[in-house]
A and B are shown apart, each in its own frame.
Chain A
Amino acid sequence: MELLSFLQHYWWAVVSLLGALLVFLLFVQGLQSLLLFSAKTTADKDLVCQYAGHKWEITFTTLVTFGGAAFASFPLFYSTSFGGAYWAWIVLLLLFVIQAISFEFRNAAGNIVGPRLFEIFLFLNGALGTFVLGVAVGTLFSGGAFVMEKTAITDIGNPAISYWANAWNGLDALANPFNLLLGLVVFFAARTLGLLYAISKPDNGEIGNICRRKLLFSALPFVLLFVAFVVWLFLRTGYRANAAGQFEAVDYAYLLAMVENPWILALLLLGVVAVLAGLIMQILGKMEDKNFYIVGAGVVLAVWAILMSAGFSGNAYYISTIDPQMSLDLANSSSSLFTLKVMAVVSLAVPFVLAYIAWAWRKMR
């Protein structure tokens, strides 16, 4: 594999890993989804907000870095998807922005609007934010109605190199059942992780009991919908560029990507095993303080594998449903070799970053 191609895959793996870590860290959102209907007393709400409020910034920063790394390594995706699927990203953005202000404002003295509004914000972020994120990520497999032509920049009258071919500007992603399914998977994954996190905490009081009672109602849909998603994904047709650079339909493209890269398949299976093991232990009432981390590790591995399959083996990770020839794959949408090299050097610092996050996490337990 030549260096450019290697670095493109390396960065797709890094971006995918950030996405996978993000889904794991959405346990914060999962906790927030308890706020309106599950946590009833002020004490319960305070505890939920304390659990989520001490960790939300890590999740938020991972989201920002996921976006930043995607922009840096695959700027054509950023340009095409953000500029075209305008409303999908704006809605997602708004659903996350309302979270950032809510923890600090909710119980602050001088809060003129009262805590209720911010609890609604946190709930919306927890319930809808996770769902919309899943729907948006679904487009990495289902594609979007975009037109992209780099040469348009020489057209003085209309130099935009990409645009959305319908007036829904990304909201059409919500009409695609495959995206909706992934939205539900992400929501239930976040909620399951949120419940497990609360259960794992010592002195969790009434919230611990509420979460134990509710776990099965989140974990079961999570597992079943996830399996349905993976089956559907494996049956999907993708696109790959042939030697002449023309995109051709490939049946079972994502399953093939896993078979062609068995280590990705292994990650997926390992992830599924960890998720199931953690959930079964929890249902049996064992190792309550550890199941969050076991299931969390499983989620990271499984999501990482799935995201990688979107771009590996030559799969187009952003298919144009208007003209498949305009689709984006790792080769035609990445940054230059030089920039990818610079960033690869930068990425060597990631273990160091992970180490101090782990230190802070342990200290702050």
Chain B
Amino acid sequence: MESLITLSRLQFALTAIYHWLFVPLTLGLGFIIAFMETKYYRTGDEFWKRTTKFWMKLFAINFAVGVATGIILEFEFGTNWSNYSWFVGDIFGAPLAIEGIFAFFMESTFFAVMYFGWEKVSRKAHLVSTWLTAFGTNLSAVWILVANSWMQYPAGMAFNPDTARNEMVSFVDVALSPVAINKFLHTVTNAYVLASIVVIAVSAWFLLKNREHELARKSIRIATIFGGLSLVAVMLTGHTSSTNVAKLQPMKLAAMEGLYEGQKGAPLVAVGMLNPSKKPMEQAGQEQDPYLFSLSMPKMLSLLATNSTDGFVPGINDIIRGGYEFTDIKGNTYIEPSFEQKKAQGTLAVNALKEYQLAKKSGNDSLMAQTRKTLDENFKYFGYHYIEKAEDLVPPVGITFYAFHIMVALGMFFVLLFVLYYIYGRKNKLEDTPWLLKLGIISVPLVYICSQAGWMVAEVGRQPWTIQDLLPVNAAVSGVAASNVATTFIIFAVLFTATLVIELRIMFTQIKKGA
């Protein structure tokens, strides 16, 4: 069972990571291309057509691989997480179907017009197709992020004991939950930053090679403004993300900071290294320091999480022990139960479901009503029934902590990068500043690391839950033998890696060829 869960998680993570290597570039590049083609449409200047076509080629190469890895994720919900597919299919399926009907057809139809249709449709129709391709790719992101947000914050649903699953009761609550909106904005603006940095880097390379001066300078100008503005949005939504996490997934926040014992006015670690032998719930008197070293900003974590410098931020051990005052996202304040209490409630809920189904079979209406009441009262902690011990509640602290800090540090670095490019670009001095051009090029791997790190915080940090508090990974996984998943994992790993190598080589060749 353990190896099945680990392999299934690895396989999904592998697919998601590869998918996210290709998707953010298309999300951002789509709009950058659309800006450029709009310039062409307005001025009729062939330079802009050439420039648009150059970036469009890179878009197209990425787009295909994004599509290929995307369908694998869709299949894997069913093949590897079949219990999950049933448990939430009533909610999760609708966004997925909407994504197919609205977004995928929009992007694939207009992509074909955009890519192959220069000579076949009018200039206006072509421009509209390019914009619709950009909107279509971004619209795809809406629905999958709605689904992901719902897993972090299950809203707008009720559990139905007759069907043993969650059912949607409010589409608006699912689609427009504050978490979903924020997550969408944070993710797509991050993608715009990534695409902008790629555009800057490719252009910087041209300038270093003393080629394509006009294309490079004008592309940098567009990317600097688009990416810089997007980065502001990334930071604002990043802040909202952390306040959301504090209210909805305090364990994730504690892992992000390596915070074992909570406090009022909690500091934020600026730079630090975790103590790898630190364990949750160490015996009194034998507690180890969570960090080998750390530099912290006083009270900043409390400010980030609670919007108050004196707010209480619970640590990993607090969350296991319970007993502190907690205010959830709806503004309800209560004393947080301990892990044991939650587990007891979860077991009550699961047993009530079992008894409900037996009562239904035997037609015992009063027992059905009684067990249903118990189920409803305790459903909030349904998933805790499947958590064996308190430590299983703690996500991998190392990955979550480092991913979070790497993401933030790189984000800060990109602020500097965009400011420098803006200033030197305005002064027309980029060509004379090779160090800045080189800095732009080395930012490409950094921005990919930053973007992937963000997803690791979100997804590794919510372990062990597929759906927060309701369904942990061990109750979500398919009933297949682990050896099957091991085999497919290897197949996918080889396939994706080969694809990536070939793709990168093609991208580099295209870039070298120039416009």
Contacts and interface: CB of A to CB of B under 8 A. Distances in A.
A242 interface: no
A320 B70 CA distance: 30
B490 to A, nearest CB: 12
A110 B481 contact: no
A93 B75 contact: yes
A275 B121 CA distance: 32
A104 B60 contact: yes
A42 interface: no
B167 A69 contact: no
Contact of A64 (B69, B100, B385): B100
A47 to B, nearest CB: 14
Interface stretch (A28-36, A222-230, A301-309, A346-354): A346-354
B167 A336 contact: yes
A346 B386 contact: no
A363 B113 contact: yes
B491 interface: yes
Interface string B69-96: 1111011011111110111011111101
Nearest to A363: B121
B83 A110 contact: no
A313 interface: no
Interface in B152-182: 160, 163-165, 167-169, 171
Contacts of A108: 61, 506, 509-510
A342 interface: yes
A73 B89 CA distance: 8
Interface stretch (A84-92, A176-184, A200-208): A84-92
Contacts of A346: 94, 97-98, 101-102
B23 to A, nearest CB: 13
B396 interface: no
Contact of B90 (A335, A349, A364): A335
A109 B510 contact: yes
Interface stretch (B30-38, B245-253, B347-355, B444-452): B347-355
Contacts of B171: 342
Given A104-B61, A151-B164, A160-B477, A357 B83 contact: no
Nearest to B117: A364
A153 B87 contact: yes
A162 B61 CA distance: 39
Chief secondary structure at chain A's binding surface = helix
A90 B79 contact: yes
A213 B98 CA distance: 43
B117 A363 contact: yes
A216 B460 CA distance: 56
Contact of A97 (B68, B117, B125, B509): B68
Query: Which size class do B's interface residues fall under?
Result: 35 or more
A68 B77 CA distance: 11
A323 to B, nearest CB: 16
Given A111-B506, A363-B125, A342 B60 contact: no
Contacts of B87: 153
Contact of B71 (A100, A164, A356): A100
A153 B475 contact: yes
A93 B71 contact: yes
Interface string A94-121: 1011001101110011111100000000
Interface in A149-166: 150-151, 153-154, 156, 158-164
Chain A CB count within 10 A is highest, among B79, B111, B491, B502, for: B79
Contacts of B469: none
A47 B93 CA distance: 39
B116 A54 contact: yes
Interface stretch (A75-83, A191-199, A248-256, A278-286): A75-83
B495 interface: yes
B275 interface: no
A71 B85 contact: yes
A352 to B, nearest CB: 10
A63 interface: yes
Given A154-B351, A159-B474, A360 B110 contact: yes
Interface pairs A-B: 8 shortest CB-CB: A75-B89, A83-B82, A110-B509, A82-B78, A160-B479, A72-B93, A65-B100, A163-B479
Interface of B: 60-61, 63-65, 67-72, 74-75, 77-83, 85-87, 89-94, 96-102, 104-106, 108-113, 116-117, 120-121, 125, 129, 160, 163-165, 167-169, 171, 350-351, 353-354, 357, 385-386, 474-475, 477-481, 484, 488, 491, 495, 499, 501-503, 505-510, 513
